[in-house]
Amino acid sequence: MIYGVGIDLVENDRIEKIIQKWGEKFLCRVFSDREIEYCGRHAQAHIHYGARFAVKEAFLKAISLGLGRGVRLQEIEVVNEPSGQPTLMLYGGAQDFYQGAGITSAYLSITHTKKYASALVLLEK
């Protein structure tokens, strides 16, 4: 059965400005090394960062939990399959919540344009 669904939309300009202002400090607080490597490979890295930021927020919506309640953004990671398909990897508090709630599967989809990035997360138990 469906446990929860979450959706989020990010303005890529906003992410670009934050990256310009805070640089590594922001990136390392929010994204995993693997995500930084993936986004950094793209000419318009901020669009891919925007998409990953949207995934993290969509996941929090799907579990109906705000930040600061045992889950950190960096514990929610997007890993792309060789086909390009994005998958979700969870660590620490995010993984504890997932397992504790009896969630068995996570589905994820991402889309982006120059201006916006959006993600949908569906959790099953």
Ligand X SMILES: CC(C)(COP(=O)(O)OP(=O)(O)OC[C@H]1O[C@@H](n2cnc3c(N)ncnc32)[C@H](O)[C@@H]1OP(=O)(O)O)[C@@H](O)C(=O)NCCC(=O)NCCS
Contacting residues toward ligand X, per CB under 6 A: 48, 51, 80, 83-86, 110-112
Q: Specify the residue, 24 or 81, whose C-beta has the smaller distance to ligand X.
A: 81
- What is the nearest approach in angstroms of ligand X to the Cβ of residue 10? 12
Helix extents (H) in 63-91: none
Q: Specify the residue, 60 or 120, whose C-beta has the smaller distance to ligand X.
A: 120
Q: Specify the residue, 20 or 111, whose C-beta has the smaller distance to ligand X.
A: 111
Distance CA 103, CA 64 (A): 13
Distance CA 56, CA 120 (A): 10
- What is the nearest approach in angstroms of ligand X to the Cβ of residue 68? 26
Distance CA 25, CA 95 (A): 24
Residue 90's DSSP bridge partners are 76
- What is the nearest approach in angstroms of ligand X to the Cβ of residue 109? 6
